[in-house]
Amino acid sequence: MPLTSLRRPMRFRLVLGILVIAPWAKGEEARPQENRPQEKMWRAGALVGFAREFTTGLSHWGFGFGGFAGTRSGKFYLDARMQLHLGEEVSAKNGSVDYLSRYQSITAQLSATYDIEIAGTFSFRPGLALGSTLLFGGTTLGNERRSDARILVGIGPEVQCVWTTATLVYGLNAQALFVPSRVAAPVLGAYFTLGNRF
Amino acid sequence: MPILSVSGASFFARLAAAIAGLAAIAGLSTCTGAPRELPPCLASPGFGSTKDPAFARVVAAGDIADCTTNKHFETAALVGVLAPDAVFALGDLAYPNGTLSEFLDCYDPAWGKFRSITRPAVGNHEYHTAHAGPYYAYFCGTSGEPFGGFYSFELGAWHVVSLNSNCGSDLGVPAEVATEFGGCDKDSPQAKWLADDLAKHPSPCTAAIWHHPVFNSGKHGGSDVMRDLWKILEDAGADLVLAGHAHDYERLAPVVLPGTRNEQKGIRQFVIGTGGRGLATFSDIDPNSEVRQAETHGVVEFKLYADKYEWNYVSTTPGFTDRGETPCH
């Protein structure tokens, strides 16, 4: 979305969102590598990001947010995620024709990753993501409307860049999902994550 | 360096607040500005009549607008020089996904000037966008009922039908598409409409346009799903089928199903996927293939007389030509 299309109410929402999220931030020094906390088994939190599909004109990805919960066994991590992608509204008209298309999606995923400790509290976790996406929305042309609700299964590689503290885990997830039933090229997504460790 | 921290006790409350905040931000991406302006739906009251009373001049091509190469501007220039009475756009008109912006920003600047005389067929790439919505919106109803994709019209002495051939399993096309418009088999609404339409419009010369060729030496091979509709056309004495999909030019001999050459009753099929998209070489050569090339983009000029048709491949670069004529049945 071009920045020039940001309107005043949207800026307000952005500021509001940041203010609401801001309480997460408190000062704490990073622990040195030798004190890297590993004892906690569980984690859960929120994620926010953007995804895009390149080989279709469908617009059910875009901005997305949701939650995740995960556990580990040694250096293997397993995460479950649920995300809502708000998609995009596309419309056009002239004096005779009105066209409107809007789609959104909910994705449920499992990912398995392997922890590669890089430095201090920072880890790099390559792995695999598998999930399904419920695509929903509709297309309207004049008085005719077609509604959709379809489930697409996707699988693909995922990389997590993760910082871990005594209570928090945060970082960046990037994934390339292939939807075998539909497209040859991947859906690319990137998400900031922020969660708590238990 | 300060980093993030939170007490475990308040975690879930803060998580809920964070998600609420993200939801507030969400408005950033749900609106993408004002609706795009579609070109006006220009009336074409004279469509169907011809500049020359002896024949209708038609230019046909498919697989057209690719703004990574802009070859479609070269083929559009050919259409302008030929000044046809009608343009048959044989599907896959705006690459790669038939989106609204691809139609408005890529197809329209080149081939849009002929839109009021264009009679299109819907291709598989149009269905990469939900329900091929931008295709139906852009062509203002000249492409049949919304979301249907089959219709007919008169052009000079000819009756022409445009059919929806998206009944296969093209990558990127949802399986539900065929169900949506009724499919292509002999009991489908499209088949019943076709048989009824041909019965209501008896004509010495009949042509059909659609996207997926039944006989094809190029990439993807032939589309068997259209055989039932081909049979209906064959039984009605149709003369000519124009298709795209394969990014090449191929002219086949008149055939009857299952693919037997028959000069008396057969339908001659042209594959004209040379409208602008990158060209692709041939694979399994159909035994009835008479002429083919995948070296140069171009369009085919047809002259539809009351009792015959002539064709002339017009290339964007000098070299390849293909001319000929065949009487109607």
Tokens coding A44? 């859960």
Task: Test B140 with A97 for CB contact under 8 angstroms.
Answer: yes
Q: State phi, psi for B133 to the nearest 5 degrees.
A: -55, -50
Does residue A137 belong to the interface with chain B, where contact is any CB pair within 8 Å?
yes
Contact B294, B282 (CB under 8 A): yes
Whole-model pTM: value is 0.83
Whole-Å CA distances, B147 to A140, A163, B93, B121, B136:
10, 50, 16, 12, 7
pLDDT score, position A195: 95
Q: What is the rounded distance in angstroms from the CA atom of residue B16 to the CA atom of residue A22?
A: 13
pLDDT score, position B45: 64
Report, as an integer, the average pLDDT of B177-191: 93
Closest chain B CA to residue A30: B3
Report, as an integer, the average pLDDT of B151-164: 96
Does residue B171 belong to the interface with chain A, where contact is any CB pair within 8 Å?
yes
Residue B2 has pLDDT above 60, yes or no: no
Q: What is the rounded distance in angstroms from the CA atom of residue B237 to the CA atom of residue B235?
A: 5
Q: What is the rounded distance in angstroms from the CA atom of residue B90 to the CA atom of residue B171?
A: 19
Beta carbons within 8 Å of A132's beta carbon, 6+ residues apart: A107, A108, A151, A152, A153, A154
Tokens coding B258? 């299952």
Does residue B42 belong to the interface with chain A, where contact is any CB pair within 8 Å?
no
Q: How far is B27 from chain A (nearest CA, A)?
A: 6
Element (H, E) at B199: helix B189-200
pLDDT score, position A3: 35
Does residue A93 belong to the interface with chain B, where contact is any CB pair within 8 Å?
yes
Beta carbons within 8 Å of B118's beta carbon, 6+ residues apart: B86, B87, B88, B89, B111, B139, B142
Residue B21 has pLDDT above 80, yes or no: no
Residue B55 has pLDDT above 50, yes or no: yes
Closest to B17 (Cβ–Cβ): which among A20, A55, A137? A20
CA A103 remoteness from chain centre: 16
Q: How far is B80 from chain A (nearest CA, A)?
A: 25
In this structure, of A28-32, A35-39, B40-44, B161-165, the range with the lowest mean pLDDT score is: A28-32
Contact B119, B160 (CB under 8 A): yes
CB atoms within 10 A of CB B274: 31
Task: Test A146 with B131 for CB contact under 8 angstroms.
Answer: yes
Report, as an integer, the average pLDDT of A153-175: 94
pLDDT score, position A193: 96
Is the pLDDT higher at A15 or at B109?
Answer: B109
Task: Test B3 with A28 for CB contact under 8 angstroms.
Answer: yes
Structure-token match 């999909």, residue found: B245
pLDDT score, position A39: 64
pLDDT grade for A95, boundaries at 50, 70 and 90: confident
Does residue B8 belong to the interface with chain A, where contact is any CB pair within 8 Å?
yes
Contact B59, B301 (CB under 8 A): yes
Task: Test A86 with B26 for CB contact under 8 angstroms.
Answer: yes
Its ipTM equals: 0.85
Q: What is the rounded distance in angstroms from the CA atom of residue A37 to the CA atom of residue A29?
A: 13
pLDDT tens by residue, B103-154: 999 999 999 999 999 999 999 999 989 999 999 999 986 666 789 999 999 9
Percent of chain A with pLDDT over 70: 77
pLDDT tens by residue, B230-271: 999 999 999 999 999 999 999 999 999 999 999 999 999 999
In this structure, of A108-117, B62-71, B144-153, B158-167, the range with the lowest mean pLDDT score is: B144-153
Does residue A141 belong to the interface with chain B, where contact is any CB pair within 8 Å?
yes
Closest to B129 (Cβ–Cβ): which among A57, A93, A182? A57
Convert B156-187 to b/e letters by CB count within 10 Å (16 or more is b). bbbbbbbbbbbbbebebbbeebbebbbbbeee
pLDDT grade for B3, boundaries at 50, 70 and 90: very low
